[in-house]
Each structure stands twice: as C-alpha cells, then as structure tokens.
Structure 1
Amino acid sequence: MGSRSSHAALIPDVDHIRRETGFSQASLLRLYHRFQALDREEKGYLSRLDLQQIGALAVNPLGDRIIDSFFPNGSQRVDFAGFARVLAHFRPVDEEDATIRDPKQPEPLNSRMNKLRFAFQLYDLDRDGKISRNEMLQVLRLMVGVQVTDEQLESITDRTVQEADEDGDGAVSFMEFTKSLEKMNIEQKMSIRILK
C-alpha cells in the first residue's frame, strides 16, 4: 500500500496514456493529482472555467487560446487523457527520445513538428491551414498589449507575414511557419520542466 504503482492504478487507461504522451508513471501521477485539484466538483472532467484557475494561464497572453486547445471540435469538457495529451506537447525533448524512437510508431506529441503544429493552431483561429494577416495581428496584439502603438503593431505584423510568406498569397501556411522557425529551439521554448 502506498506504492507508486498502486496509486497509478487510480488513473484510467494509465498504460495507454503513458505510451501516447511519453510521460513517466510518476509524472502522470502528479498530473492526475493536478487534474483532480482543478476538478473541484469531482465531475471527472475539466471545463474551461476549471482551467482558468491555472495561474500561469491566467497571466499568459495566449492563455485563452491554450485553453481552447483542450477543447477540440467545440467540446465543453476534457477528461484526464485529453488533459495529458495537450500537456504532452510541452514535455521537454530528451536526446534519447529521438534516438530510440521506433519509426513505425506515431511521432511523439512533444516532437518538434508536433510542437510547431500546436503553436500554429494558436494563430490559425479559423482552422483554414493559414495564418492570415488579421490572425497574426490579433496574436501580436495579445502578446504586446498596450506597449506598442497600433501603427507599430501593424508594421510588425506586415513585416512578419511578408518575411514568412514565400508563395506571396498574403498568409502563412504551416510549411512557411515551420521554415520561418527552423533556427528557433522550439523544443526548449515550448517545454515545462516538471513535465518529464
């Protein structure tokens, strides 16, 4: 009694979630306790309101968009597996993860490409596969707040879209987005240290 493995048995489908997310059993147990703490009414799922209790999201300019990512396809609740799946995008990348990966298995949720897909969807609000100038402007406005004038912000937006937009359609596709960030260490920038 009191062993970690017996506590992990409390988590529904723990082995499947561990394989899918790459989290260790100990990390899943910590996440499960956090999930339960956020689920104050013991409903077995989280709502947007529950996730808004997370202080780091409340102060993050993209917090609402990150919260939206927990609720794909207009759902109003997220179970523990969905909660862990979204957080897996922020799991730090270990060098050994890449070297021992079976190419027949799906790409890990915390891979560079999946981190980029996650970041891209924070910008692509209408889910049309492109970041329009207006979508870029909205995100930049959230990120800089009132520190920059509207004129400066529009100039930054135009320059950002122009630099990334290789095909000249006035928007940034996922491939253009990926290429524009190829020198950025996205694996570390999109990581939360406790999520091993």
Structure 2
Amino acid sequence: MGNASSTLTQYDIEEVQEHCNNLFSQQEIVSLYQRFCQLDRNAKGFISADEFLSVPEFAMNPLSQRLLKMVDGLNFKEFVAFLSAFSAKASMPQKIELIFKVYDTDRNGKVTFNDILDVLRDLSGTFMSDKQREVLRGYI
C-alpha cells in the first residue's frame, strides 16, 4: 500500500477504514486510493507539498499554506485520516480538532490572539492592513 503500482487488498481497505473510524465505505477508500496514486506522481508512497498544490482547489485556498504543514508527507493511511475530518459523517469533535490545528499556528496547543491574527492575515491578504487587524484586539 502507498506505492502507485500496488493495489489495495481487502485487508488494506479494512485497515484504512478502521484507522479513519469507518467514515468511508470500501468503495470510497478505493476511490481515495486512486486519487492518492494520481497525486503521488513519483510513486514514493507519500504526497509532497508540491503534489498537494497541484490540486487547484487546494492551491487557491487562502489557508493552503497552513494546511500544507499538516499534509506534507502523508502516506495513504494518513491521507485518508486527514480527509476524514471533511466527511459528512465526521463527528463535531473531529471537525473541531482539525479547525483547532489550523488556527494553532505556532502549534503550542493554544489558540492565541497572535494565532488568530496570523489566520486573519492569510484570509484577508492585502485587503486589510496590520493596523486594521490589530484593532480587533479589543473585540477578542
């Protein structure tokens, strides 16, 4: 598993399903594996940041640089686990954990005002100055 030339066995599929709390059906796992293999252009068994950026929707996301820190170098099993937070079947705590990781920019286990400013900077780009962002301090 993880090599583009290999195929998933029933055991592999069940192992991945268990790893992602059965949020994906067997057919969805197979489809995700096909997509993983397309992204893993050199059949290394993991997806690099550059390969993730080849997905236009991902590259256009204003938070893509933050997400890249979370996804760079994922093998197939980790790739599916990451995507499971986006599943309609994912629990609220799973979704919140992903959002927390996106906002905890310095990865210290806390979302501070500076973390929020960093995310706001990514989201607003040049449309908002640092001075305008700093004004928000009184509201948070």
TM-score category (smaller protein): 0.7 to 0.9
Distance 1:65 1:32, change over 3 A: same
Q: How far does residue 157 in structure 1 lie from its aligned partner after superposition?
A: 4.7
Runs of 4+ in 1 over 3 A off after TM superposition: none
Give the AA of the match of 1:11: L
Task: For 1:158 and 1:55, locate their aligned partners in 2 and report how far apart those are by CA, in whole Å.
Answer: 37
Structure 2 residue aligned with 1:133: 113
Task: For 1:11 and 1:32, locate their aligned partners in 2 and report how far apart those are by CA, in whole Å.
Answer: 8
TM value normalised by structure 2: 0.84
Structure 2 residue aligned with 1:78: 74
Task: For 2:15 and 2:136, locate their aligned partners in 1 and report how far apart those are by CA, in whole Å.
Answer: 44
Q: How far does residue 30 in structure 1 lie from its aligned partner after superposition?
A: 1.3
Q: Structure 2: any 5+ residue segments left out of the alignment? A: 1-5
Structure 2 residue aligned with 1:14: 13
For 1:119, which of 86, 99, 122 is the aligned residue?
99
Number of paired residues? 131
Distance 1:15 1:137, change over 3 A: same
Q: How far does residue 51 in structure 1 lie from its aligned partner after superposition?
A: 1.2
Structure 2 residue aligned with 1:91: 87
CA contact (8 A) 1:125 1:135 kept: yes
TM value normalised by structure 1: 0.62
Give the AA of the match of 1:27: E
Structure 2 residue aligned with 1:67: 68
Task: For 2:33 and 2:51, locate their aligned partners in 1 and report how far apart those are by CA, in whole Å.
Answer: 14
Structure 1 residues 18-65: Cα deviation after superposition (integer angstroms, max 9, x where no partner):
123210111111111110111111222211221111111111011111
SS of 1:92's partner is coil
SS of 2:111's partner is strand
- The structure with the largest alpha-carbon Rg is 1
Q: Structure 1: any 5+ residue segments left out of the alignment? A: 1-8, 72-76, 94-109, 163-196
SS of 1:11's partner is coil
Task: For 1:46 and 1:157, locate their aligned partners in 2 and report how far apart those are by CA, in whole Å.
Answer: 38
Identity of aligned residues (%): 31
Structure 1 residues 127-180: Cα deviation after superposition (integer angstroms, max 9, x where no partner):
222112211111001001112232222223542xx3xxxxxxxxxxxxxxxxxx
Task: For 1:64 and 1:123, locate their aligned partners in 2 and report how far apart those are by CA, in whole Å.
Answer: 12
CA contact (8 A) 1:136 1:157 kept: no
